[in-house]
Amino acid sequence: MRRRKILFIATALTLMQTDSPAQSRDYARSMTISQGGIVATSQTLASQAGAMILARGGSAVDAAIAANLVLGVVEPMMCGIGGDLFVIHRDARTGKLTGLNASGPAPRGLSLETLAKAGINGVPSSGIHTVTVPGAVRGFAEIHRRFGKLPWKDLFQPAIYFAENGFPVTELIQWDWDASRSKLMGDANATAVFLKDGQAPRVGEIFRNPRLAAAYRSLAAEGPDSFYRGALAQAILKTSRRLGGFLSAEDLASFEVEWVQPVSVDYRGWKVSQLPPNGQGIGTLEMLNIMENFPLNQMMPYSADALHVKIEAQKLAYQDQRRYIADPRVSAVPTAGLLSKAYAKERARSIDYKKADCDPVPGNPPRESGNTIYLAAIDRDGNIVSWIQSISDIFGSGVVVDGYGFHLHDRAAAFSSDPNHPNVLKPGKRPYHTIIPGFLQKDARHIGFGIMRGMNQPQAQAQFVSYVVDHNMNIQQALEAPRFSKISLGGCDVRMERRVPATVRDELEKRGHWISDVGDFSGLMGGGQAVSLDSSTGVKYGASSPRKDGAAIPEPENYFQPAVTPKKSRGK
C-alpha cells in the first residue's frame, strides 16, 4: 500500500513539472475540430442555425446566409438586411478565391450641395441622410445563386422561428442594447420595436420581433425583388420620404453587386488576402508589409519591441488608408502602390525603435495606371466563406423601416466633406468601408478570418496574422491573444488589454506611447471568428473570440441514420 502511495505521489509531481499544454497554455478555449463543417459567429444561436443548415446538406454559403439572418434577429444593433455585405469565398475543388462587394452607393439625389440646401453643413453622423442603398440582400441572393445548394426560402426558417417565438438576450449584446437606449428613443419605430417602457430587454429576457419575421417571410417568398422593387422597397421609400431623405425607387431597383478579385501580399511565406477598395482591407496588407521589415518572429509576442513595431506600423498604414481609399469606380486609388514591398520598406525606415511617432503623416505611394458582425463557415467539402455584414454604427442610422422591424445603415457618414478628398460624398458613389473579410493560406492550411469594430479591423487582423505566422499560434489562441487598438489618426494614444504585462506597458510609455488600459477581453478590441482547413487531411478547425457571445459550432452528424450492414466478403 505504501509503495503504491509513493508511486502515485511521484507520478503527480512528474506531471506537475512537465511543461504540458494543459499546464502552460495561455488561452482559455480549445479550437472546435471536426471532420464535418463548422460555423463560427458572434452568437451561439446563429452558429447553431448555420450548423443545422450544413447538416441538411447546405453549402458554406447557405450556412452563412442562415446564420447572418439569425444574427439580424438576435444581434440587431450590429447587422441586418438594412446594411452591406463583403465576402471572400474559397472553392474547395479549384482552390480559387472569389470576392463579393455588396456595398451600396449614395442616393442619386444626395450630395454636399443638396445637404446644404436642406440646412445641413457637411455629412451628418446619423439619421436618414446617412442612408446609402443597402446591398446585403442582393449580395445574399447573388452569392447563393453561384454557390448555394439548398432552396433560398429554407435559409430563412431559423431566423423566422426566432423572430416569431423569441430568444433569450445574451450578455454582451444586452450591454450594447442598453447603452443605445437614447438612440433608439430618437425614432418612434425603433422605440416601439426594441424598447419596452423605454428599457432595453434584460439578460435572459425573451425578445420577439414579429415585424422582422414579416420582412423575412416577404424575402423568402419573393426573393431580393421584395427588397429592391416590391413590398419592402415601398416601405423603405415611404420611410425615407417621411423623414425627408433622398432615396429613390431607381436607387434601389438599379443596384447590382460587384464580383471582385481579392488583393494579396506575401507575409513570410503566407498569402494574405483582402478585398480591394472601397474597403479598408489594404490597410491590413500595408501594415503587414511594413511589419515584415522587422524580425517579429524572433521577438516574444507581447514584448515592448514587438508591440512598438506593430503600433507604429498601424499609424503609418492608417494615415495612408484614410488619405487614399475611396470608391475606385469614381476616384483613382493607388492600390498597387500602397501594397508595394518597396513602398513598405520606405515607410518602415521612418519607425524609430525607441520612440513613438505622435505626428505620422500619409506617404506618397507610387501610382500605376490600370459596428458589424463577422462570421466564418466551412462545409464538409472544404468550401470556406469569410463573411462580414454590418449596419455600420450601433443600430445604424437610428431609422427603423415602417412596419418591418429592421434598421437602415448609416454608411454615408463615412464620406468626407472635403471636396478635394478622394472619398468626398457624391451621388451614386460608394463610401469608404470599414468592414473587411480576411483570408490566410500556406500549403495545406487555409484560414478564413475576421475581427469586427470599425477602424479596429485592419490592425486587429494584422495582429491576428502575426500571431499565427510569427508566433505559431493556432487560430483560437491568435483570436484570444491580447491586443492593442488605436482608433484615432495622429497622436500617441493607444488602447491595450490589461493582459499585456505591466512591465511591457511601462516600457511602451517610456517610448512615448500613451497607454489606456481596457479589460482583459475588451469588446473595444472587436470580437472575431475564424475557420481553418487542413486540405491534406480534410480536418476542419473553428475558433470564436471570447470578446463576443458566440461560438464555433460543428455540423452535427446524422447519428440516428439506419445502421449500414457490412456486405459479406467473397472468396476465402
By annotation, the residues acting in catalysis are: 372
Instruction: Say which DSSP state 101 is in.
Output: E
Instruction: Say which DSSP state 209 is in.
Output: -
CA distance 113 to 100: 32
Phi and psi, residue 456, nearest 5°? -65, -25
Which regions of 291-394 does DSSP assign to beta strands (E)? 372-378, 384-390
CA distance 74 to 196: 16
- Residue 381 has a CB neighbour count (10 Å cut-off) of 15
Output the CA torsion 460→40→521→166 (10° steps).
130
CA distance 320 to 87: 24
What crossing angle do the helices spanning 281-291 and 456-469 adopt, rounded to 10°?
A: 40
* Residues 511-520: contacts with CB under 8 Å, at least 24 apart: 511/304, 511/308, 511/354, 511/355, 511/356, 512/355, 512/356, 512/358, 513/308, 513/311, 513/356, 520/482
Closest CA to 101 of 89, 113, 111: 89
Question: If you write DSSP's letter for every residue of 35-87 in order, what string do you get?
Answer: SS-EEEESBHHHHHHHHHHHHTT--HHHHHHHHHHHHHHHSTTT--TTSEEEE
CA distance 192 to 172: 22
Say if residues 437 and 387 touch (Cβ distance below 8 Å). Answer: yes
Q: Which residues of 285-298 are buried (b: 16+ CB within 10 A; e: fewer)?
A: bbbbbbbbbbebee
Instruction: Say which DSSP state 493 is in.
Output: E
Collapse the DSSP code of 222 into the 3-class scheme (helix H, G, I; strand E, B; otherwise coil) and give the result. helix
At which residue does the C-alpha cell 505566422 appear?
A: 469
Which regions of 82-210 does DSSP assign to beta strands (E)? 84-90, 97-102, 167-168, 206-207
- How far are the Cα atoms of 12, 92, 236, 353, 370 from residue 510, in angstroms, in the given order? 44, 49, 54, 12, 45
CA distance 70 to 157: 9
Closest CA to 161 of 220, 107, 118, 112: 220
- Hey, what's the cell of 413? 457618414
